[in-house]
Amino acid sequence: DVKVTQSSRYLVKRTGEKVFLECVQDMDHENMFWYRQDPGLGLRLIYFSYDVKMKEKGDIPEGYSVSREKKERFSLILESASTNQTSMYLCASRSYSGNTIYFGEGSWLTVV
């Protein structure tokens, strides 16, 4: 079975803190993604990576950065968390040859 694992399901952080969200996939997929999901706004792409050490900005990259040091792992970094980054964050992956994106269970982040 396809498996995308987000290690942190629920986090509460203070404004200004640095936050790391980790994601691991076990399908040897080349492409990995970070989305955020907000009520009324649907899923919005933050960053994606098409290979190790490669990254591209999505639709809403401001305030975020990413790291892809290994093929199976894609990290989302909030350098200085703000309250408007309170959201559900979804990691996903896809192979070069596939079309379907597989999602993790999500990480609920609250910034206070």
The residue (of 12 and 54) whose beta carbon lies closer to another protein is 54
The residue (of 8 and 17) whose beta carbon lies closer to another protein is 8
For the chain, report the end-to-end CA distance as a whole number of angstroms: 37
CA triplet 27, 30, 36: central angle to 5 degrees? 90
User: Which string of x and - marks every residue 90-109 that binds another protein (by CB under 8 A)?
Assistant: x-x-x-x--xxxxxxxx---
What part of residues 39-68 is at the interface with another protein (CB under 8 A)?
A: 40, 42-43, 45, 48, 50-51, 54, 56
Size of interface with another protein, in residues (CB under 8 A): 24
